[in-house]
Amino acid sequence: MRWTLKPSPEKEKIAALANALTIDETLAKILLLRGVSTFEDAKKYFRPSLTDLHNPFLMKDMDLAVNRIENAIKNQENILVYGDYDVDGTTAVSLVSSYLKTLYPNIATYIPDRYQEGYGISYQGIDFAEDNDFSLIIALDCGIKAIDKVAYASQKNIDFIICDHHKPGAAIPKAVAVLNPKQKECTYPYNELCGCGVGFKLIQAIASKREESVENLVPYLDLVATAIAADIVPMTGENRTLAFLGLQVINASPRNGIKAMIHQAKKKILTITDVVFTIAPRINAAGRIKHGNDAVELLTEMDFEQATQFAQAIEKLNTNRKELDKQITKEALTQIDTNNEKNRFTTVVFHENWHKGVIGIVASRLIETYYRPTLVFTKSDDVLAASARSVKGFDVYNALEQCSEFITQFGGHKYAAGLTLLPENYEKFKQKFEEVVAKSIDKKLLTPEILIDTELELSEITPKFLRIIQQMAPFGPQNMKPVFKTSSVRDNGYGKQVGGDKTHLKLNLIYGADKKTYNAIGFGLGNKISLIKNSFNIAYSLDENEWNGVKSIQLLLKDIE
């Protein structure tokens, strides 16, 4: 790990904010690093509210989208709500379809089959719309590059409204409306929404046109918060407001499908991290192992008993997914080892029998061992399909663009993408991708970075200090849980490796003249036990530990040096 201390804001600004909020300077510094510099900023940051949401009609084409939907309702057209099979897509489809059904009955949903149709809008989906007399398709979390598909639908007199957040290509599909804040001509104030977030802006616009209050849409925010957490979009601006309010819905009155999953996972109060690791994998498991439709059924089910049955079925799929992911990761690591590819700048592995539904997870797992841009390929009909994942700071999407001569199709983000190529191009692509990354990556990015907010004296940690840190949640990209560095701590001699395979480290730290001890746990740091014989430095975040009903402050160690 390389430790990077964030540059400190100016002393005058720290003092001014500390004074305005009556907090200590360490907390003021942490807030300034998150863009909070005034009392007004802090109010919005700590108390996000519906009034912080932007006017949806500031988004390019929103008026066209709303008018087309209103005309479809007036003319009794059939509307097909179409979305991708991952968490962002299935939550978006559940959100838009369930809202529209409160206005009008002729609404159906469509999730493409991951294996037969692949990612995004498919010709098969458009043919389904034609065969079933749908004249309007609302595409969510996909479609920004579907130029040929939208043209194909046009020939069949089927209109498209595209709601996407992926990076647009040079040309934009000729749809009735394209809602994507990343479009060059779109001046919407916030461009980091996820697909479900764009879907929410659409229903917000329809509701406001019908003079409905935005308060009526709060019950849909459990879906939006789940998508924001799962899609790992920045936890800033409008995303943070939607996630904050959505978490309240998840913990107070979630829809039946989410409630059933919470029961299944035996959770009580969920944080964003719980949503990422508990709810999202279960929703994803449907599209990975069986079909994304199962997730939409679960998320839109009105009867709790039925939702519980759906959740149980999805639980089995998730268990299956975990076993596959473990087995394939093991095989991929063996392949890297056998081919002697440990010292490359990239990881590119392939096996024709690997399950297409879990290769994205496997790519993330491989990064945990070999920290570098990674692609995992499998066979999909006549082509090879891959999931790409990147390391912090490196744009894998741009790197793939430079290898486009060997790629049939690709799309995605800076840190995650999907692609297909012909089998005969695999070795050429692998070589070219290695060359592009070797030439363009800053070598320090190949070592994981711990970004440290500030140095801290352990004596500064009080219950009030922790409470304010906890109120900075929900955490996520660009609003991560604060990380601190404390130098020259010692273990009291009882530090030990814990866990079945001794992979974790449990310490009682002594610091300062008063020799007060502090509990610390380092998950995955068991191999660092040799470093605790003398004094050492720690990078950590703060957590609340509860044992036998007693709460105490615990240091969650990130690394030791």
Question: How confident is the prediction along the chain (561 residues), in pLDDT tens digits per residue?
Answer: 999 999 999 999 999 999 999 999 999 999 999 999 999 999 999 999 999 999 999 999 999 999 999 999 999 999 999 999 999 999 999 999 999 999 999 999 999 998 888 889 999 999 999 999 999 999 999 999 999 999 999 999 999 999 999 989 899 999 999 999 999 999 999 999 999 999 999 999 999 999 999 999 999 999 999 999 998 899 999 999 999 999 999 999 999 999 999 998 888 889 999 999 999 999 999 988 889 999 999 999 999 999 999 999 999 999 999 999 999 999 999 999 999 999 999 999 999 999 998 999 999 999 999 999 999 999 988 999 999 999 999 999 999 999 999 999 888 888 889 999 999 999 999 999 999 999 999 999 999 999 999 999 999 999 999 999 999 999 999 999 999 999 999 999 899 999 989 999 999 999 877 778 899 999 999 999 999 989 999 999 999 988 888 889 999 999 999
**Rounded CA separation 380/118 (Å):** 9
Amino acid 414: pLDDT? 86
| pLDDT of amino acid 269 | 87
Contacts by 498-502 with C-beta closer than 8 Å and gap 24+?
498/526, 499/526, 502/526
- Return the pLDDT at 267: 83
Say which residues have a Cβ less than 8 Å from residue 1's Cβ, sequence separation at least 6.
Answer: 447, 448, 449, 450, 539, 558, 559
> What one-character DSSP code corresponds to residue 479?
B
Predicted local confidence at residue 545, as pLDDT: 87
Q: Give the span between the Cα atoms of 538 and 524, in whole angstroms.
A: 14
Q: What is the pLDDT of residue 515?
A: 77
- In whole angstroms, what is the distance from residue 431 CA to residue 435 CA? 6
Lookup result for tokens 């104030």 = 189
Q: Identify the pLDDT of residue 191.
A: 95
- Specify the pairing of strand 454-455 against strand 2-5: unpaired
* pLDDT score of 193: 98
Alpha helices in 102-217, H assignment, sequence order:
123-131, 147-155, 195-209
Task: Tell me what the pLDDT averaged over the chain comes to.
Answer: 95
Q: What is the pLDDT of residue 370?
A: 95
pLDDT of residue 183: 94
Q: What is the pLDDT of residue 217?
A: 98
Helix (H, G, I), strand (E, B), or coil: what is residue 239? Answer: helix
Alpha helices, H only, 232-277: 237-252, 256-264, 272-274
pLDDT of residue 115: 82
Q: Backbone phi, then psi, for 87, in 5-degree steps?
A: -60, -45
Measured between alpha carbons, how far is 9 from 408 in angstroms, rounded to an integer?
A: 47
- Domains of the chain in sequence order: 56-313 (3.90.1640.30), 339-446 (3.10.310.30), 449-560 (2.40.50.460)
